Structure 1
Amino acid sequence: MSVKPPSGPMCTRASLASDFRAMGLRAGEVLLVHSSLSSLGWVCGGPGTVVMALLDALGDSGTLVVPTHSGDNSDPAYWQNPPVPEEWWADIRASMPAFDARTTPTLGVGIIPETVRNWPGALRSCHPQTSFAAVGPHASAIVDAHALDCRLGEHSPLARLEEAGARVLLLGAGFDSCTAFHLAEYRVPSSQVDNSFAVMTPQGRAWATVRDTSFTSERFDELGAAFEKERPVVRGPVGGAQARLFGLAEAVAYAEGWLPEHRPHPSAE
């Protein structure tokens, strides 16, 4: 059986750190990263190399933050990819493992966030579905007190990142994965939905339901295209990936104006 040779470019810790610095990453800053490992090319050492290169660029005083979401801890009645039979729903609600910040794996956010989650010294917020992990001196301030009824709003790490003057790096990822835009959804007229998950309480594991803001990434690609046309967004290559770097607060503020005009009726996600 023939094996397809790896496609380049070849990336090393040193080459990636150099590309990050050329993009404008600064030592000491707080950085939220959305990433695609495969977009970079062939990375010598895999995802751990990317994390080390990011930490090299940020320095000991910088803080790296990634989404460590686990959306499978949710009501099976709303599962789409794939759905499960209705006769399973009750058993799933009774048996779904409770979220554990130490051990619950990520889902759908890529291997780089999963690597950061397991990094020495990493801290993780405690929302069962939309947690974030952080490494660095500001990690605790960013991930603490993530409310169960606020997936991506004022009582989530996104608002703490905004307060910290964080920037966002889309590393081979598109604007459709930009979680910062969701913070804007919490600040414009939006519907409320029931949101359920398995969580640990002082009394033990429980299936909990809370009211939270409905959100969706629908049209985020259009929102991002408009944002980078009108606001400062640094674009450049990192390995084989196209990367974008911009201020989180600027992105949220722009989305607060764009969303009510272009997407006035948000749907649940």
Structure 2
Amino acid sequence: MDEPPPDHAALLARGDGPVTRGRLLRDLTALGLVEGDTVMFHTRMSAVGYVVGGPPTLIGALRDAVGERGTLMVTCGWNDALPYGFSGWPQPWQDAVRAEPFAYDPVLSEADHDNGRLPEALRRWPGAVRSRHPDVSFAALGAAATELTADHPWDDPHGPGSPLARLVALGGRVLMLGAPLETLTLLHHAEALADAPGKRFVDYEQPVLDGGRRVWRRFRDIDSSRGAFDYSSVTPVGQDPFETIVRDMLAAGIGCRGRVGAADSHLFEAGEVLDFGLTWIGEGLGGSR
């Protein structure tokens, strides 16, 4: 979801006017956010419009909506993670990389730029915490931030014990602020739990910090880049499988829809997303929940 710098003149030319913190709070409240919510959010800033003050304004409005008892969470990843195929590089290349002192650092390592501007802004926010997994890190801010992110499993990081699993367990919600439907990351949790044939996995290696010392670790996860399953038989040609699942979910009456700023936005209950995703994968690809 990497975006070019906003063209403020073009955004204002839509006729929606500037999007202020107060306007965002009113829209978020009308959509259904309430004080005390634990909410994972995905955002496309350009869809929201000309947000006066940029990401800090949007994060401020979200914090206003959920209050001191609430929590915000985003998916971060690591922008400079080594590619999965690193172990297949020529040995001199691998040796050169291993000789360098770099490692994933939850405090310093940038969030994946493909996730847009908000994850990087939230993870830098005073008081925010970030999970330890280099490839699948999450950042959170608020009352349940540590509970969501602590001891992120090294293997199966989308599965049991993950920040996604804890979001569901806490009765959390998922907010899509103009973000493409296929970016609903919680569906990776459904993939991790689904018992369906042909599940695809990746094994890879990354350097991480352990007690301030760099350690090379191996990891195993569902293949979230190529797809955990072959969905070609159950999705329209050219449509992302997650978009298909979310559209079917909305058609089934799950989630609510509204405008936040200029963005067509959606709010879902995390437990309902997981249940629908598990059922959809089971019925479409075979297997059981």
- TM > 0.5 fold call: yes
**Residue type matched to 1:231 in 2?**
G
Aligned 1:10-159 pairs, distance under 5 A: 10-70=18-78, 72-75=80-83, 77=85, 88-95=93-100, 97-107=102-112, 108-159=114-165
The answer as to 2:238 corresponding to 1:233 is: no
SS in 1 for 2:193: coil
- Pick closer, same or farther for the CA change 1:4–1:56 going to 2, 3 Å: closer
Q: How many residues align?
A: 259
SS in 1 for 2:11: coil
CA distance in 2, matches of 1:177, 1:166: 17
Q: Do the aligned residues in 2 keep the contact of 1:76 with 1:92 (CA within 8 Å)?
A: no
Aligned 1:146-225 pairs, distance under 5 A: 146-189=152-195, 190-202=199-211, 204-215=213-224, 216=227, 218-225=240-247
Offset, 1:213: 3.0
- Pick closer, same or farther for the CA change 1:208–1:75 going to 2, 3 Å: farther
- Pick closer, same or farther for the CA change 1:5–1:133 going to 2, 3 Å: same
Q: Do the aligned residues in 2 keep the contact of 1:98 with 1:205 (CA within 8 Å)?
A: yes
User: Alpha-carbon deviations, 1:94-113, whole Å to 9, x = none?
Assistant: 53721111111101211111
Structure 1: runs of 5+ lacking an equivalent: none
SS in 1 for 2:73: strand
CA distance in 2, matches of 1:222, 1:86: 42
Q: Do the aligned residues in 2 keep the contact of 1:71 with 1:130 (CA within 8 Å)?
A: no
CA distance in 2, matches of 1:160, 1:148: 15
**Residue type matched to 2:44 in 1?**
S
Offset, 1:209: 1.3
RMSD (Å) for aligned C-alpha atoms? 2.5
CA distance in 1, matches of 2:77, 2:84: 17
Q: Do the aligned residues in 1 keep the contact of 2:205 with 2:218 (CA within 8 Å)?
A: yes
CA distance in 2, matches of 1:17, 1:258: 34
**Residue type matched to 1:91 in 2?**
A
CA distance in 2, matches of 1:231, 1:30: 22
SS in 2 for 1:95: coil
Q: Do the aligned residues in 1 keep the contact of 2:156 with 2:192 (CA within 8 Å)?
A: no
**Residue type matched to 2:214 in 1?**
R
Offset, 1:63: 0.7
- Pick closer, same or farther for the CA change 1:114–1:263 going to 2, 3 Å: farther
